[in-house]
Amino acid sequence: MLEIHHFLKKYPTGFHLEIEFLKLEKGIHLIQGENGAGKSTLFKAIAGIQTYSGNIILDHIDLKKHPLPYRQQVNFSEAEPLFPGFLSLDDLIIFVSKAKKATENQIKVLKETFQVSSFSANPISTYSSGMLKKTSLLLAFLGEPKLIILDEPFTTIDTGSQDFLIRLIEQKSADGVSFLLSTHQKAFVDLLSFKSVHRLLHGTMISHQ
Ligand SMILES: Nc1ncnc2c1ncn2[C@@H]1O[C@H](COP(=O)(O)OP(=O)(O)OP(=O)(O)O)[C@@H](O)[C@H]1O
């Protein structure tokens, strides 16, 4: 499904993340690591919003050679999402649905699932942190991605929302969608069945299974 070759990302601060080779088969994958280990850096690169050296390939599509078809297949919810405050979730749904080719029915189901209808027409500047997180998570499920990257998806959302997010991930995974997840919350590691688990340690990746 996803292959990474000769990956290198260096920041001016001196931090560098290096992955010689990584192959992830279809399934749910966990990336662990302490604060600052490089998880978000890796996720942003795989999502196509971070420069890097090397190659990232999803189902034979190289991100650098074919950025548009690649990005059509990969959705990303950031750990701390930022959106223009004057837009509403409904505005973002219209924009992202066009880019990701989401159907009206899918939008309706996702709005019901994430229970966002009470605030989705309001400007994002008025959202609580949980509403903002739901906004980012909902957008990550739009369209027909092959890979959904969820960086710390369980933070700030309430326990009911955490439960339905687990179910949604399992359901989408059963439909053939792969996931790349990070979480500092151990309880969720035990709730999902991971195909592989990897740990980043000072910019180096150690694979456990
Ligand atoms: N834009 C940037 N410019 C310079 N350094 C950065 C930048 N973004 C991240 N870093 C550095 O890269 C390293 C890895 O950061 P990253 O956000 O990828 O870690 P993380 O594993 O996601 O951490 P956390 O668990 O705290 O979210 C850190 O040392 C951080 O300071």
| Cα-to-centroid distance, 109 and ligand 1 (Å) | 34
Ligand 1 — pocket residues by CB below 6 A? 11, 13, 15, 33, 35-41, 79
Class of domain 2-207: alpha beta
Mean pLDDT in residue range 150-159: 94
Which atom from ligand 1 is nearest to the alpha carbon of 12? 4
Q: What is the per-residue pLDDT across 25-77, written as a single tens digit (0 to 9) for each?
A: 999 999 999 999 999 999 999 999 999 999 999 999 999 999 999 999 999 99
pTM: 0.95
First to last CA, the chain: 16
Q: What is the per-residue pLDDT across 102-116, written as a single tens digit (0 to 9) for each?
A: 999 999 999 999 999
User: What is the ipTM score, two decimals?
Assistant: 0.97
| Cα-to-centroid distance, 64 and ligand 1 (Å) | 22
Cα angle at 165 between 111 and 204, to 5 degrees? Answer: 125
Class of residue 191 by CB neighbours under 10 A (exposed 0-12, middle 13-18, buried 19+): middle
* Amino acid identity at 204: T
Element (H, E) at 198: strand 196-201
Domain boundaries, the chain: 2-207
Quick one: DSSP state of residue 209? -
8 Å CB contact between 75 and 139: yes
8 Å CB contact between 155 and 182: no
| Cα-to-centroid distance, 41 and ligand 1 (Å) | 6
DSSP SS3 for 167: helix
Q: Report pLDDT for 209.
A: 59
